[in-house]
Structure 1
Amino acid sequence: MPTPPLGADASLLSLIAWLYLLTNATRLVTYLPQIIVVWRCTDGARSVSVLTWGSWVLSQATATLYGTLVLHDLPFVLISLINLVGCGCVTVIAMRRRNQWKRTRQAIGFPGRGVES
């Protein structure tokens, strides 16, 4: 585990650690509404930015590797994994809905452009 900065108050560092744990653990709950909305989406998930969610997947994958290989910090790794799964679910479902929407439009011969990422 990294050493605290010189002069850092242990109680302040403890508070920050608990706040990190609490705020990131509750993120699991915040993914669920987004996953449900994207799952039910019938317009190709046009309002979801696959680029943004994909970048969050990459960020959480990097955080997981960092926590595992550099910090050796199990709580950090678990939080990163939870966030990776949440971001990954939204990204994969949005991509799936987008592909289904494009195929449906092509099958019925609907003119116009496809959905942009």
Structure 2
Amino acid sequence: MTLADYSFGAFAFLNTARLLGYFPQIVRVHRDSNGAKAVSVFTWLLFSAANIATVSYAMIVSHDAAMATIFALNTLGCLTIVGLTMWRRAGIRKTGADDGASNERIFGASTEKVPLRAKSQGPQILAEMADWLVVGLLRRSARSHRRRIPSAWTHEH
């Protein structure tokens, strides 16, 4: 094999494996009760734009449907994270309660605290699907690791 073959193999493998890398981020966004403040929407939009540019290149210049498909799926993963993050932030904004701190600075305003309301759970169906997928991948990974364990160890675990 040539260096170009190894390079293409690494490129194909890593960009396909990258599809699995979105699921931990999706699960983290779903479970974050603070509106996913640590997620940079700009960064994920930039990743999406780069993936779209690569899809365009793959279709127009190299006529490579497999490459276009992989990068289209990567775009979908990035935009899913953007959408979930925005959904979480919108849900927090709509249901977030005022803790009364801002009213203390207004002359004559009440300092009574407003009770908290229930926070949005975000897109529950997508979150359950992501949880199901992550758990399934972890189970498959555990099964594949058990097969590699020497038989003398299997009765202990």
- For residues 1-117 of structure 1, the aligned pairs below 5 Å read 11-105=2-96, 108-110=97-99
**What's the CA shift for 1:77?**
0.6
Matched residue SS, 1:23: helix
Matched residue SS, 1:72: coil
Q: What is the number of residues matched between the two proteins?
A: 101
Deviations 1:76-111 (A, max 9, x none): 112211211111111110011111111112xx3346
**What's the CA shift for 1:69?**
1.3
AA of the residue aligned to 2:44: W
What is the rounded CA distance, in whole Å, between the counterparts of 1:28 and 1:80 in structure 2?
9
Larger-Rg structure: 2
Question: Displaced runs of 4+ in structure 1, greater than 3 A?
Answer: 109-112
Unmatched 5+ stretches in structure 1: 1-9, 113-117
What is the rounded CA distance, in whole Å, between the counterparts of 1:100 and 1:64 in structure 2?
32
Unmatched 5+ stretches in structure 2: 103-157
**What's the CA shift for 1:29?**
1.2
- What is the Cα-based RMSD across aligned positions, in Å? 1.5
AA of the residue aligned to 1:60: N
What is the rounded CA distance, in whole Å, between the counterparts of 1:96 and 1:29 in structure 2?
22
Matched residue SS, 1:42: coil
AA of the residue aligned to 1:109: D
Higher relative contact order, structure no. (Cα contacts within 8 Å, ≥ 6 residues apart)? 1
AA of the residue aligned to 2:10: L
What is the rounded CA distance, in whole Å, between the counterparts of 1:97 and 1:61 in structure 2?
25
